[in-house]
Structure formats: C-alpha cells, structure tokens
Structure 1
C-alpha cells in the first residue's frame, strides 16, 4: 500500500518519467570499487597518494561534483510509486554493492599482510577501505528497513566489515522511534560539537541496542543466547569474516583491519551528527512527542552525493516514511535544507567553530527565531539562550 503523504508540500518538479536517474544508480558501485582501485592506479601512475583514494573521492571529488552538478530538483510522481517500489532493478543496485565491498576487503587484507607497502601506504589503504565500509553501512541501512528476510540478512552481511552489527537493531527500533528528541543518542544537540557527540552516540546506541533486543527476546520468551538474537547474528558474521581473513593472511593485518572498522563506524556517526543537528520534534498536549515529520531532519538534494548514498540525503522523507525504498524518496519543501551535500558537511563538522558558524543560524531560522524550540545541549543551554537574548536586544 502506498504510504500517505500527510499533506506535505513536495519541493522540485514532478518527473515526467518514473525515474530520470534510473541508470545512474549503478554508479553507486563505484564507491566499494574504491578498495579495488588503489593497487592498479599506483602501479600505473607511481603516485603513492592514491592509496588514499577513498577520502580523496569522498571528501574532495564528490563535494566538487556536488557544487558543479547542483541539486536534483525532481521528485517521482504519485502514480509511479508502486511501479518504482516493485522494480527489482533498484534492489539489485544495492545487492551489487556487497560482493564488490567484500572483494575489496579481501584484496586489502592481502596487501596489509605483505611487506611491499610502507606503513603510511597501509594506513592510506585502511582509510580507503574504511570509507567503503561506511558507505556499506549506508547500504545496510537501506536493506535493513525492508521486510524481506533476504534483504535483512544482506544488511547484516554489509555491517560485518565494520563490526557495527548492533546498528541493525538500534537504527530501526531506537533511532527511528526517538529521532529529534533528547532521548535519542544519535540526534545531535545545538551547541554540541562532533567530538562531544561521537562518544555519546556510540556508547548510547550500543546500550540502546542491547536493551531493545533483550526486550524483544524477553517478550518472545527467548534467552539472550539464542540464534534468534539479531545482534548476535550480526556480530557472528563479523567474527567469521575476521577469523577467515586472519587465517588466510595472518595476524600482521589485524591492526589495519580494526582501523578500517573504526573509520567506517566513525563516518557513520558523523553523518548521524549532520542529519538531525539541533532539531526537535513538537510536544503534544499529552506530553508525548509528535510523530516525526519532514521538518525534523536536515535535507540535501545534491545530485551526486544522493546517487552514491542511495538518496540518504532525502532524509526528511525517509524518517517521515521509513518504509519507502530509496528510489521513491522525495525532497520536501517542509524540510530544513543543508547548505551543501553530506560529503561537504562532514568536513565542516570536524571543525566545530566553522560548523556552528554555518549551522547554528540555520537552526535558529528553521524555528523562526525561537531557539527554545531547538534540541539544545543541556550543559550549554543557559549560555545559548543568553546569547540569543543578547542578540535580540542588540
């Protein structure tokens, strides 16, 4: 059944065809292919810097292309919703990600175990593979929202590289329920720097996943140690994958394997920081939080990043309609807009003064000048409110 649009005004033009980007989605496989490219590129060019091609593409090339290509500006038509949702071509675009991702990890592991590369080169390769792992978590994010058992298992496989299997539970059952509220560890608060947010989100998300899965198993009358435990299933895949790589290539590659996992998880959490910074859902008269709307997530309709991230930047529609597949997501005029794509914003997020200079005025504008409506960092609440009061009287 097609989900209701709930009287949301959708921005952009209605596409005259079901999907003008249909054949661009296969370009998403370029992202995992980054882990396959370095050795060939370095051999052909002699440029050792290309071991770092992952961050070069993600943090330099894609932001530049976002700026050159600009915004998408089109939305799928209502009458094409069922056609797009049921078109299995789009599913295969996400399925294709997984074998390329895992092949790149195997090739990298072999290189980490050898003596041909310097430590700096191996660190560059680890960073490249970590960037791929982060985008792999995004593929898992898309697959994990689906009801089909195959896609849910594929989501857990995609998470195995980063060792972040509990994300499967926390994101779907925790984050989506509490998003844009103070109770959500993955929703950044106004005045909270990325470096304050990361430990809060990582630790809070981990604890939440354990509670949620434990509660689910308890309601079913099952113990924690059961094959039906979604977290243990996902973690087991990581253990099997890492054990196989260690047996095949030896322990010398383990530090680099662990480093790429940390980088992948860190990039995921940085995107979480960007997606809901300072945003707060309305309180109902009953005291409960209002249903999540398009106004509760930061949106960006930059074409290039959206292709590589399977429309993750149409995040407002994703939270308003979490059952929608990526190809049917829309850009909403109700959603607050980022000044650039995610690839650019994660660079800004790493520099807290620059981030706040760019984003704090946008949070204030989104709430029509009433900063009390924002999700404010508790320790900085008085300072932020006082500074806004001083600005209002100046």
Structure 2
C-alpha cells in the first residue's frame, strides 16, 4: 500500500495543531474538524487499505516523524495552555484537538513503534507513551496483553457484559500491576534497570517540565490532555476485544489466538488515520508485522462502524450492549470447534 495515503491522513492534523499551538486562531479548530467530521465523511468516500503483505521502506520514517511531531506538540501546546493572552475558546479547542490527535494517531503510532525490531524505534515509542504518563503500557501491552488476550488473565480484555466505565479503572490499575509483575519476572533473567523506573521517573520529569513550561494552568491542561489520551487508549482495547474470548483446551492451556479474538474496523480513511491499527486480528496473530502490511483475515469479526464512532458508543453502556452483545455472540458461535472430528468419523 503506498505509504503516502497514511501520510496524507496523519500529517495535516499534526501541522494544523502545531500552527494552533504556536499562533492560536482557527488552526486547532481545523485540526479538530479533520479528526472528526472530515474523517467521518471521507470514510464513506475512500476504500480501505488493500490487502497486501508488502512493507514500504517509508513506513518507519513516517512513524518517526509522527513521534517527533507528538513530542513537539506536547511542548508547544503546554506553553500555549499557560499563555494568559489565549482566549478560553482557543485553549479548549486546542485541548480537545490535541487530545483527539493523541488518541487517534499518537497512541496507535507509538503502539506500532514498540513492536518494531530496531531498539531505537522501540525506545522512541516508549518515550511517546511516557510523555503521556502512560509508560507502563509498553510492558503491559507486549508482555501481558499479547500473551493473555481474550482470557481472564489479561486486564485489558473486557469481561462479559462489562461496561467501559467499569473496565476503565480495572484495566488501568490491572495492567500497571500485571506489567510490573511481568518485568520483575524478567529481572531474574537479565541485567539492568527495571523499565518501570524509567516509566515512573520519566512521568515525574514530564510533569515537572509541563509545570516549568506552562505554569499551573499549563500543568492542569497537560494533565487533562494525558487523561484524554489514557481514556482513548483504553477505549481501543475495550472496543477491539469486547465479547471475544479464548477457550480452554483439553490439556488446560488456552487456545491459540485466532482471527475471531479481535474486532476489526477496515474503513476508508480512519484506517489510514490510525496507522492501520483497526486491522487488529492480524496484529494479534502476527505482532511483528508492520502496520502497512497488516490485513483483515477472512472470517475476522468486523465492527459496524469506524473506531471513533464505536468509541463514542462505548461510553453509553446501554446503547453499546444493544449493538454489540448479539454481534459478539455470533462471532463466537462461528468460531471453529476446538477438536473438530474428521469428516468420515461415524460419530459426526
């Protein structure tokens, strides 16, 4: 898939936000419009990413540009939040637009980076998460979520019928603890400092930097921005695994991860905007595959609407369950049996 489509979806809102943080005015409002109404409209006009396994050499550079742009945006936005000459409307618009960017682009991009093989890319992705005060997600996602997705052992897999608002604190606290426990188990087999030291100290440094750059007003808005990023990151986990679970094998192990254990949302524009994170089944089956080479496997469950729209629905539990519970039950019913009998078995 030509990487330029990902660039055309992700770079304009970044440029608009940087302009809004520097000069105020309507730039941030245009970025918010791009990330909401324009994205929803273009989803209806553009085709989803083609099914291909080819990886572009430009994919990693684009991820680096987005990560560096994210870090620059946090500095400039925090300074703007603390600027007393900015109007309340400008500040709120910049906060909401930046929060949307962090949730829809920075999070999936950092998620991509922490899965890449080069150590420099993994560290850059971790830096993005630490800058959002969400560093523990690096360990919890790679060591816990991918190993135990779809089971009660994964804090980031929703429980049957669980609302997002019940899932939110359980997943945040549970993933922090589970990631720390996983890293402590690794400590016995390696040398060096536990990465949680970096996550916590980095978050403290980032918070102090926000206070220095933007004062108390800048710090308050920066913390609100981080909260928006956490909210959207956990919404992604909730949406992409709701109602889908792995079954126990006769020997007591969990069945292997399969296409029906993740929801997918192959849309015409938001798939590019979210660096193909909505192709989630393939990612869980092949976590080292770069984003531009992910596909939606045959038989994988597909969400009725794009990820941003599903995120809005997930915040209203009654509507969410009415839309999703039956779909999730059908997805699990269509899963292959654990021990299918041969076609010539007389007991079939």
How far apart are the structure 2 equivalents of 1:359 and 1:348? 10
Matching residue within 88, 94, 117 for 2:57 = 88
Per-residue CA distance 1:125-172 (angstroms, 9 max, x = gap): 222222222232221110101221101110111113211000000000
Report what 1:277 is aligned to. Answer: 242
Report what 1:106 is aligned to. Answer: 75
- Residues 252 and 56 from structure 1, CA distance in 2 versus in 1: closer, same or farther, beyond 3 angstroms? same
- Residues 33 and 200 from structure 1, CA distance in 2 versus in 1: closer, same or farther, beyond 3 angstroms? farther
How far apart are the structure 1 equivalents of 2:87 and 2:123? 37
1:138 touches 1:309 (CA, 8 Å); kept in 2?
Answer: yes
Q: Secondary structure at the match of 1:323?
A: coil
Matching residue within 27, 32, 35 for 2:17 = 35
Report what 2:46 is aligned to. Answer: 69
State the TM-score, normalized to the length of structure 1: 0.78
Matches within 5 A, 1:68-217: 68-72=45-49, 74-76=50-52, 81=54, 84=55, 87-134=56-103, 135-217=105-187
How far apart are the structure 1 equivalents of 2:22 and 2:30? 12
The answer to whether 1:359 aligns with 2:324 is yes
Structure 1 residue 22: Cα displacement? 2.6
Per-residue CA distance 1:3-24 (angstroms, 9 max, x = gap): xxxxxxxxxxxxxxxx2x3321
RMSD: 2.4
Per-residue CA distance 1:317-339 (angstroms, 9 max, x = gap): 00011111111111111211111
How far apart are the structure 2 equivalents of 1:231 and 1:201? 17
Q: How many residues align?
A: 334
1:139 touches 1:158 (CA, 8 Å); kept in 2?
Answer: no
2:28 touches 2:93 (CA, 8 Å); kept in 1?
Answer: yes
How far apart are the structure 2 equivalents of 1:199 and 1:54? 30
How far apart are the structure 2 equivalents of 1:207 and 1:42? 40
The answer to whether 1:234 aligns with 2:162 is no
Q: Secondary structure at the match of 2:247?
A: coil
Structure 1 residue 189: Cα displacement? 2.7
Structure 1 residue 356: Cα displacement? 1.3
How far apart are the structure 2 equivalents of 1:177 and 1:108? 36
State the TM-score, normalized to the length of structure 2: 0.88
1:34 touches 1:128 (CA, 8 Å); kept in 2?
Answer: no
The answer to whether 1:294 aligns with 2:259 is yes
- Residues 213 and 34 from structure 1, CA distance in 2 versus in 1: closer, same or farther, beyond 3 angstroms? farther
Structure 1 residue 53: Cα displacement? 5.3
1:59 touches 1:347 (CA, 8 Å); kept in 2?
Answer: no
Unaligned runs of 5+ in 2: 339-348
How far apart are the structure 2 equivalents of 1:23 and 1:337? 25
Report what 1:24 is aligned to. Answer: 5
The answer to whether 1:60 aligns with 2:37 is yes
How far apart are the structure 1 equivalents of 2:334 and 2:130? 44
Unaligned runs of 5+ in 1: 1-18, 374-394
Q: Secondary structure at the match of 2:17?
A: coil
1:299 touches 1:337 (CA, 8 Å); kept in 2?
Answer: yes
Q: Secondary structure at the match of 1:259?
A: helix
How far apart are the structure 2 equivalents of 1:131 and 1:58? 7
Report what 1:336 is aligned to. Answer: 301
